[in-house]
Structure 1
Amino acid sequence: MNVNTAVNLEDLRQIARRKLPRIAFDFIDGGVDDEDCMRRNREQFRRYQLVPRYLIDVSKRDQSTELLGRRYASPFGISPTGLAGLFHPGADELLAQAAKAADIPFLLSSASNCAVETAAKLAPDHVWFQIYGTRDERINSDLVKRARDCGVRTLVLSVDVPVNSNRERNRRNGFSRPFRMTPSVVLEALGHPAWVLRYLRTGGIPMMSNWAPYGREGATAAEVADLYGTLTPAPMIKWQTLERIRADWNGPLVVKGLLHPDDARQAAALGVDALIVSNHGGRQLDVAPTPIEMLPAIRAAVGNRVELMVDSGVRRGSDIVIARCLGARFAFFGRPTLFGAAAGGAHGIARALQIVRNEIDMVMAQIGCSTFDSLDERYLRTEDAGPDWGHAAPAAIELPIPNIRRQR
């Protein structure tokens, strides 16, 4: 199997598995602790069925979607993913260019190997910049300033990493700071000679370019990575940090990682423009709820004050349709495009995006919906719906909202 014959995202994952050493593949593929949260992210999508409507003209279909004042060709984008250059040289740049070609947003991670200034030049209308709060308020402010100065329109603050998590696959493989290439890791990696040669030819661990300006002059990639590790995560980050960023940033501001309706309500009150409901792809808290579970409650909490998006567990075009029916305007995914990069560079990334776009188009036709914007809960049925569902009035189907006890 190769990129050209991949028919779904799982095919690209399997190609990447063959091409990457275990230490690199597991960094992309793994979750936290027992990886239950990562599995539940997929299972929750399977709770829903899409109920088709027939005898409707779907000969023309439009999946373009307006988001934060701009219309994109498809209702999905690329989530922020760090260290992409480890899986394919220049992967961040390739992701930015692929997003531009597909007319979708690419959320460049502040932990990327490509500097925000470079990515903004490659895809000025499609690159968003994602940051974490750091232990140094001056760096927080400077990252915001750099995004503004290079013309980035949308800033994303991720808030769901107060501390490092227990990613057991990484620990077993020695993927931590300081980086340890144990004999077993080296031996396994030698079974992937093409990756090893690229790794050696490009100088080993790639530079975290967004952080290079904050290190000493001439600092190595390892030294910059260590600096990043001392300044993030920042457990002291509070709502006041978000307030300061909101005051410094005039463009659209997105908060990524909130799961509680009360937090969503507070973010809306502080003037945030949009939320990405996310559990970090199951990589932070293994007992966290899934975004799909929490989306209806968050939608009820914020109303139309902010635009809602989701990520975590999106692997099919039907997932994005379901998320839209539950109230999310957009969906993001990160692992599939990293697997695409590992499987075939620019061609692999483009193939991942095309697969998802084709699946959305096919699902829309199958359920009798010609425009993505017109999707709503009327197309949904849950697996626990009662036997009389088919006799219900044609109004919107009632979806259960999780019972979240308000924190006092």
Structure 2
Amino acid sequence: MNLSRAFEIDDLRRMARRHLPRIIFDWIEEGAGDEAALRANLESFGRYRFLPRYMRDVSDRDQATHLFDRTYASPFGLTPTGMQGLIRRNGALMMAKAANAANIPYVLSGLTTTCLETVAAAAPEHFWYQPYPSNDRTIVERLIERASDAGATALVITADLPVEGLRLRSMRNRSSGHPNPWLILEALRHPAWLADYLRKKPKLEDLIPYAPRGATRRDLDAMFGREYAPIRSKQTWSEFERYRKMWPRALILKGIISPDDAIRAVELGADGIIVSNHGGRQLDRAPPPLEVLPFVKAAVGNRAAVMLDGGIRRGSDIVTALCLGASFVFIGRAALYGLATAGTAGVARAIAILQNEIDVVLGQIGCTRIDQLDPHCLWQPDTYRPADKIPPLSSLSLVR
């Protein structure tokens, strides 16, 4: 793939579609139900317009952002996305390397096909970890201990998976738990992906120490379904309190939409909230995070970092979220398109595209730093009030 021809995230998306078999591309793209939440996430950003302020010196622009006692190069990171090994062998490692090089955080999903210690070593001081709850609490406790020992600076608990969403694309693409035969044949049209996949079929490596000796890839998949899926409906606030007692560093609750839930999380010790509807993949009538963001920010104030993910495709999307109160933003599919296209280099290209777009928007709206962004940077005619007093026309001396 010619990355020099990728000028926007949608270019990477088209390249990824060509590289991946349909069953994998659908898995990345899909939302729950009729995908209303997925569409709403994307459309929500288009309802806002910037209010540019000109005649300002914007020659020295900087998008560095301070978060949890660390300064990152940009106000966004890579959100947890599971099973990246289906897209590229060692996909999580590639994502971590790109994040580390760009000086932005990478959140490793507990559903990883590369062991967490390997990923952490590739992204020192940029590594965050998202565990999955387990029926066997000993497993998740050991995984969190391993993440701590590996240097994870933040723990991200996902709240929005009490039950699995109904993702119809995957349901239609699989029959009795196996891919439809014609999709297997369709994969043959993607030889580069197929060769990479067959070279080392991805498996849940982090579960190997807790599985019977000699466990196969299918054994690990079955273990995940047995140990993890049923417990999701039991995840409660008391479980979150237990994580708070276990974890001394930054603790973040991801998947919050209700402002009341955000308040409760902060009261129980959350250092950060990620306003998210899981990319529209779980509840097909959930509101878009951007729409809820100002209400969550108003409820939480400065007691915790309020962040957002969902629907980010442009740097202008990131700037819009920051104007509405987000202190940081996370991207998912945008980075996966880059991963599918060209591995580490593709993820780096996705990051660079967004960074360049952020830089251009900052200059165009008259800002030089991220901390200058606020609602006044957006055109909101219903609430607009001029900053400067303008004398009435009748008082002006007109030259005829």
| TM-score in terms of structure 2 length | 0.94
Which of 233, 240, 243 is equivalent to 1:242? Answer: 240
How far apart are the structure 2 equivalents of 1:149 and 1:126? 14
Partner of 1:212: 208
SS in 1 for 2:206: coil
After TM superposition, give the deviation of residue 232 of structure 1 in Å.
2.4
SS in 2 for 1:257: strand
Partner of 1:339: 337
The answer to which of 221-230 and 99-108 deviates more is: 221-230
Partner of 1:161: 161
SS in 1 for 2:219: helix
Partner of 2:9: 9
Partner of 1:109: 109
The CA deviation string for residues 363-384 of structure 1, in whole angstroms up to 9 with x for no partner, is 00010101111111110124xx
Q: Is 2:124 the counterpart of 1:128?
A: no
Contact 1:48/1:381 (8 A) holds in 2: yes
How far apart are the structure 2 equivalents of 1:361 and 1:14? 24
Contact 1:144/1:245 (8 A) holds in 2: no
Structure 1: stretches of 5+ with no match in the other structure: 396-408
Match for 1:115: what amino acid? C
CA RMSD of aligned residues (A): 1.4
Matches within 5 A, 1:191-210: 191-202=189-200, 204=201, 206-210=202-206
| TM-score in terms of structure 1 length | 0.92
How far apart are the structure 2 equivalents of 1:296 and 1:349? 30
SS in 1 for 2:205: coil
The CA deviation string for residues 157-208 of structure 1, in whole angstroms up to 9 with x for no partner, is 0111111111111111118xx7413321112111112212222222x3x011
Q: Is 2:386 the counterpart of 1:393?
A: yes
Match for 2:174: what amino acid? G
Higher Rg: 2
Match for 1:11: what amino acid? D
Partner of 2:397: none
SS in 2 for 1:66: strand
How far apart are the structure 1 equivalents of 2:112 and 2:359? 31
After TM superposition, give the deviation of residue 144 of structure 1 in Å.
1.7
Matches within 5 A, 1:173-184: 173-174=173-174, 179-184=177-182
How far apart are the structure 2 equivalents of 1:4 and 1:209? 34
Aligned length: 386
Which of 205, 212, 220 is equivalent to 1:224? Answer: 220
How far apart are the structure 1 equivalents of 2:346 and 2:76? 17
Match for 2:141: what amino acid? S
How far apart are the structure 2 equivalents of 1:199 and 1:320? 33
How far apart are the structure 1 equivalents of 2:387 and 2:257? 31
How far apart are the structure 2 equivalents of 1:148 and 1:342? 29
Partner of 1:400: none
Partner of 2:275: 277
SS in 2 for 1:107: strand
Matches within 5 A, 1:3-402: 3-174=3-174, 179-202=177-200, 204=201, 206-233=202-229, 234-382=232-380, 385-386=381-382, 392-394=385-387
Contact 1:132/1:159 (8 A) holds in 2: no
Match for 1:365: what amino acid? G
The CA deviation string for residues 278-321 of structure 1, in whole angstroms up to 9 with x for no partner, is 00000000000111111111111111100011001011101111
How far apart are the structure 2 equivalents of 1:347 and 1:268? 38
Contact 1:77/1:331 (8 A) holds in 2: yes
